[in-house]
Structure 1
């Protein structure tokens, strides 16, 4: 991908921050389309994944960084996410980091490709969270279009052994960008599950 992912990452993470602020305590145990997570675990994964990409941006590598955040109190998710989000945005400001190689769990890749993958990550999990808590906000389609293009480039259409995504499922007729991305990642809306 040749598009600079930083503006879309900024928009996607700002949108995720707004959505996280709408989560009510009674929703924390609700299921999500990302079947291994309830809402609380998904929030932990979102905070942990954002911390990981911040570390990658700061140090050029982040494989040892956990993808969870188990020490966040139930009323602290918005604050925890805002903190790691700001850290990640700062870590990826430099054009040098975008052009240099970084090490992520799946290998050594250009910084631009790493941040593009994390646009896909946050956009997909924003959809998961939105579905789980009843779609309280309209979602910006542009980050989802970018994430879908990144996902199609990075993930094969067939079996995905060793990857944290199921094989694609058919998207509903007339599906928007988020639903098409979710389908490419093997997710099914809770209403269809």
Structure 2
């Protein structure tokens, strides 16, 4: 029997993808100035502070989901108000997130209240980490560079969003898709698919 495994495309592991996304998100969060915490973001329902709190909640709860444990998205924690080291708390929690999804068996089976495939759930936190890092960068006047081509992050997210989008729009998680030019970057296409305007910028003072 011929072994064809060498011809199969490698599967991007969620832990590796998250690691690549974290490398791009951490500098953005560390550079958020205190005076911009009340600034608007591309997510109309969140200012910078509330979006940081939301993202940290997602990161903490998805650690539990990686371990097939119960999550609690109803709790509301004001991480930013807990002290000036919230930026380093973000660094610590994203490290735990990567470790949780890199653990043996994390991508196997199902997880969460809806018993979704674990890899799909892992892709969801990868999406939040990527698009919310862009949201925070735009809201605070920073440049966001996504994980580089070849990391697999944007490719996996585009595929994941294509499957999630119809349900996500019905639930109000995604807005209606925004039109972008044909030469838009992969990141811009991803943002548009989630209902974001890739050209969003804060209103002039």
Give the shorter-chain TM-score range: 0.7 to 0.9
Summarize deviations over 1:64-121 as a string: whole Å, max 9, x none: 24475314336333112112112212222223121121115xx211211110111111
**Structure showing greater Rg:** 2
**3-state DSSP of counterpart to 1:170:** coil
Residue in structure 1 matched with residue 78 of structure 2 by the alignment: 70
Are 1:51 and 2:48 an aligned pair? no
Call closer, same or farther: CA 1:151–1:67 in 2, change over 3 Å.
Answer: farther
CA distance in 1 between partners of 2:33 and 2:180 (Å): 29
Q: Give runs of aligned pairs for residues 2-41 of structure 1, distance below 5 A.
A: 3-41=12-50
Call closer, same or farther: CA 1:8–1:159 in 2, change over 3 Å.
Answer: closer
Preserved contact between residue 22 and residue 136 of structure 1 (Cα < 8 Å):
no
Residue in structure 1 matched with residue 8 of structure 2 by the alignment: none
Give the unaligned 5+ runs of structure 1.
none
Preserved contact between residue 134 and residue 144 of structure 2 (Cα < 8 Å):
no
CA distance in 1 between partners of 2:144 and 2:120 (Å): 28
Large movers: runs of 4+ above 4 Å:
none
> What is the CA RMSD across the aligned residues, in angstroms?
2.4
Preserved contact between residue 5 and residue 116 of structure 1 (Cα < 8 Å):
yes
Residue in structure 1 matched with residue 3 of structure 2 by the alignment: none
Q: Give runs of aligned pairs for residues 1-193 of structure 1, distance below 5 A.
A: 3-62=12-71, 64-66=72-74, 68-73=76-81, 75-104=84-113, 107-142=114-149, 143-156=153-166, 160-188=169-197, 189-191=199-201
Q: CA deviation at 1:46?
A: 0.9
Preserved contact between residue 48 and residue 136 of structure 2 (Cα < 8 Å):
yes
Summarize deviations over 1:14-62 as a string: whole Å, max 9, x none: 2111210111111111111111111111111111110110111234331
Preserved contact between residue 100 and residue 111 of structure 1 (Cα < 8 Å):
yes
Summarize deviations over 1:136-193 as a string: whole Å, max 9, x none: 353334423332221112212x982224111111124532222211110111232398
